[in-house]
């Protein structure tokens, strides 16, 4: 599992490059919480470009990070979501809280890479 964390102008982008299941969620949660508390982003973006599978633990992970960022007055969004993953988000109601955005040059300075 590889997760890249980037920040630019109070934006933290978390790029997830493999499947999201119970095991990988724990690692993503811990590191994302750490980065959120350090940088206090105004916007948290989850990049799903290379995610082909996600189970229900992934939904819980997203909602938890959404709540954490919201406590600090920030917003959360999703980019590069494949149709199969989008269907999971639609069925679970996640998209009522966290919108999918077009990828508008979401790059930034690389903060850390975790393998």
Q: State the burial class of residue 21 (Cβ atoms within 10 Å of its Cβ: 0-12, 13-18, 19+).
A: middle
pTM, entire model: 0.82
CATH class of 3-102+110-114: alpha beta
**What pLDDT shows up at residue 5?**
61
Domains of the chain by residue range: 3-102+110-114
Instruction: Give the angle subtended at the CA of 17 by the CAs of 101 and 62, to the nearest 5°.
Output: 55
One pLDDT digit (tens) per residue for the chain, 115 residues? 345 566 667 889 899 888 899 988 998 999 899 989 988 889 999 999 989 999 999 999 999 999 999 999 999 999 999 999 999 999 999 999 999 998 654 444 444 444 3
């Amino acid at each position: 599992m590889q997760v890249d964390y980037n920040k630019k102008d109070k934006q933290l982008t978390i790029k997830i490059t493999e499947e999201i299941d119970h095991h990988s969620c724990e690692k993503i949660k811990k590191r994302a919480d750490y980065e959120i508390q350090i940088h206090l982003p105004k916007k948290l973006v989850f990049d799903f470009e290379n995610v082909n599978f996600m189970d229900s633990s992934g939904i819980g992970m997203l909602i938890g990070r959404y709540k954490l960022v919201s406590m600090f007055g920030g917003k959360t969004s999703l980019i590069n979501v494949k149709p199969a993953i989008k269907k999971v988000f639609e069925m679970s109601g996640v998209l009522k809280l966290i919108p999918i955005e077009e990828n508008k040059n979401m790059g930034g300075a690389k903060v850390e890479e975790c393998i």
